[in-house]
Structure 1
Amino acid sequence: MAAKTESYLRKKIKSDFGKVRLNLCLVGHTGAGKSAFINSIVSISKGHISDVSSVKTEDIGGVGTMKLLRIQGNTTDLLNQVYVFDTMGFTLAKSPEDNGITDKDLKAVLEGEVEINHKFSSVGSERTGYHNRQENKPHCVIIVVSAEALQLHDDSVLTRKMRNLHRFIPSDVSRIVVITCCDKISESVHQNVNEIYKSKKIYSIVQKATKTFGTPENMVFPIVNYYKELSLNPEKNVPILYALLFALTFAADRQELRTQT
């Protein structure tokens, strides 16, 4: 069943968006799985496990992505006309040096004012040198959050920062939420990814995401990233492809609206 669904999703993405130039931008907290999600969708796009974005392990500290990265597939890939942007995450701000992306940098990225390889600032907010780079402005922002982070108390620093994300997303940019690490909070999902749409625990996390980010449930997608696997499997691909399909659908809608103004 999963293999048939995967085949359908692949064909739809290829037919609907194979020749459409779209920008997707990932934002979220450090450790959310942004880079792992990029590797996952690129792996599915290419048909084999790929490593195109650096993934931080639990043994390595820091804030992860330091520069604005733009990733595009080859002409033979599923995502041959889609640009995926990876950004520095935000942190719990234990120290100024480990504060993650600044509000100014985040706003500039989402407004399309940042060049590729722009080095993000983790301290201070008085940076200059932004330029109008509308070709880099996202059509859809993918807010990536770990299921574990969503379990934090509503008054936690991280939860408050996540709630504030909507302030930085322009009105002509769509958004979806991708919840990663679902296998870490649900034993049934850990044992079988197919349970991701049946688990009551995952559904409660989806509801928490709608409350945190102000997005409806049909814009929230629980997934499990590829991280340790050596090969792809349809059960894991399907939730990721659903998230990708809707991100592209919403992105195309916003692109169309921009061309009309």
Structure 2
Amino acid sequence: MGLIFVLSGSWFIDVEINKVYCNLKSNVISSNRNKEVDLQYVREYQTKRDDIKHLRILLYGPVGAGKSSFINSVSSILLGRISNPAWANNSAESDKSYTKKYETHKIRKGEENSQTYYHLVFNDIMGLEEGSGSGVHPDDIKLAMKGHVKDGYTFNPVSPLSIDKSDYNPEPSADDKVHVLVCVHSANSAEIKASVLQKMKDIREAATQLGIPQIAIMTKIDEACGETEEDLKNVYKSKHLKKKMRDLSAAVGIPMNCIFPVKNYSEENVINDDVDSLILNALRCMINFVNDSINKT
């Protein structure tokens, strides 16, 4: 543990590992986050506004970054078992010819017969690709952020959704709008191509103008770093992953303390505390960022 700076009553930075710990209930700093505390926090989360029933999380990023896998991983953690609600999308995530539909993923409390859901919903979209005419059109992401895209809309890489189409929602409610924008990027991928990077910057600028909080999730940290593959607890000791995070921060303009390295569930058939802890830390910070934003309006 390095030097600790207290930024406010709820924010702390550990300089040595360059990590922000979010909104702890006490002022005790620990390098090992309490998984059960974070899990309870996420499970019990409810918005404080009557017009917003669910915190809407929109995931975007290059093809194959792990967007659908992240949704499946969150579902697995909350259910306490491996779950794949976004499996159909995830199975084809690396296929550039695949056309994805706009879909809201809700996570049930309990098993299939339960009629209650957690107050977090995820929207997974087609991946960003090089050049025009391929991958999700940035204008569709901008419309989705404003709540204008209905569930079931099929993304068209060539032509974005227009106001005269049946999939266009002309009067979105506060619940339809995106409350946090999450850039998903693989730590094991090559440098982001210039055309994809420009699309990401355009999307970020639109989100900033709308006042939408933004974070980044860096996936596949086990594939990118041998010492992290050996033990996920080494994630913030890895100079390689720290450089990857710094490179992503410089490329897309997201601060280091808003970038969260995670490992999604992929080959596992049982849940793992170390995997859960990293994802729950990201979720808890995500919730806090959104609360700060939506409670202002």
Gaps of 5+ in 1: none
Q: Name the structure 2 match of 1:222.
A: 261
- 1:196 pairs, out of 227, 235, 254, with 235
Distance verdict in 2 for CA 1:172–1:163, change over 3 Å = closer
Q: Name the structure 2 match of 1:148.
A: 188
Count matched residues. Answer: 252
Pick the structure with greater CA Rg.
2
- The offset of 1:206, in angstroms, is 1.1
Once the two structures are superposed, residues 72-108 of structure 1 have per-residue CA deviations (whole angstroms, 9 ceiling, x without a partner) of 1223499711111111111124x83xx1111221111
Does the Cα contact within 8 Å between 2:43 and 2:118 map onto a contact in 1? no
Q: Name the structure 2 match of 1:48.
A: 81
Kindly indicate whether residue 38 of structure 2 is the aligned counterpart of residue 9 of structure 1: yes
- The offset of 1:4, in angstroms, is 6.8
- The offset of 1:3, in angstroms, is 8.8
Q: Name the structure 2 match of 1:240.
A: 279
Q: Name the structure 1 match of 2:19.
A: none
Does the Cα contact within 8 Å between 2:220 and 2:262 map onto a contact in 1? yes
Amino acid of the structure 1 residue aligned with 2:295: E
Gaps of 5+ in 2: 1-29
CA distance in 2, matches of 1:25, 1:185: 25
CA distance in 1, matches of 2:83, 2:129: 27
Does the Cα contact within 8 Å between 1:106 and 1:168 map onto a contact in 2? no
Distance verdict in 2 for CA 1:49–1:65, change over 3 Å = farther
Q: Name the structure 1 match of 2:156.
A: 121
Distance verdict in 2 for CA 1:172–1:157, change over 3 Å = closer
Amino acid of the structure 1 residue aligned with 2:120: V
Once the two structures are superposed, residues 50-71 of structure 1 have per-residue CA deviations (whole angstroms, 9 ceiling, x without a partner) of 010031368x623556111111
Q: Name the structure 2 match of 1:70.
A: 104
CA distance in 2, matches of 1:80, 1:64: 29
Q: Name the structure 2 match of 1:84.
A: 122
Does the Cα contact within 8 Å between 1:63 and 1:90 map onto a contact in 2? no
Distance verdict in 2 for CA 1:191–1:81, change over 3 Å = same
Does the Cα contact within 8 Å between 1:141 and 1:176 map onto a contact in 2? yes
Alignment of 1:102-181 (within 5 A): 102-125=137-160, 127-128=162-163, 129=165, 130-131=168-169, 132-134=171-173, 135-149=175-189, 151-152=190-191, 156-169=194-207, 170-181=209-220
Kindly indicate whether residue 251 of structure 2 is the aligned counterpart of residue 212 of structure 1: yes
- The offset of 1:220, in angstroms, is 0.5
Does the Cα contact within 8 Å between 2:59 and 2:125 map onto a contact in 1? yes
CA distance in 2, matches of 1:39, 1:2: 26
CA distance in 2, matches of 1:2, 1:231: 25
CA distance in 2, matches of 1:65, 1:22: 26
Secondary structure of the 1:120 match is: coil
Amino acid of the structure 1 residue aligned with 2:186: S
- The offset of 1:16, in angstroms, is 4.3
**Deviates further, 130-139 or 175-184:** 130-139
Q: Name the structure 1 match of 2:95.
A: 61
CA distance in 1, matches of 2:241, 2:233: 12
Amino acid of the structure 1 residue aligned with 2:70: F
Q: Name the structure 1 match of 2:8.
A: none
Secondary structure of the 2:43 match is: helix
Secondary structure of the 2:118 match is: coil
- The offset of 1:117, in angstroms, is 1.1
Secondary structure of the 2:217 match is: strand
Q: Name the structure 1 match of 2:290.
A: 251
Once the two structures are superposed, residues 178-209 of structure 1 have per-residue CA deviations (whole angstroms, 9 ceiling, x without a partner) of 00111122111111111111111111111112
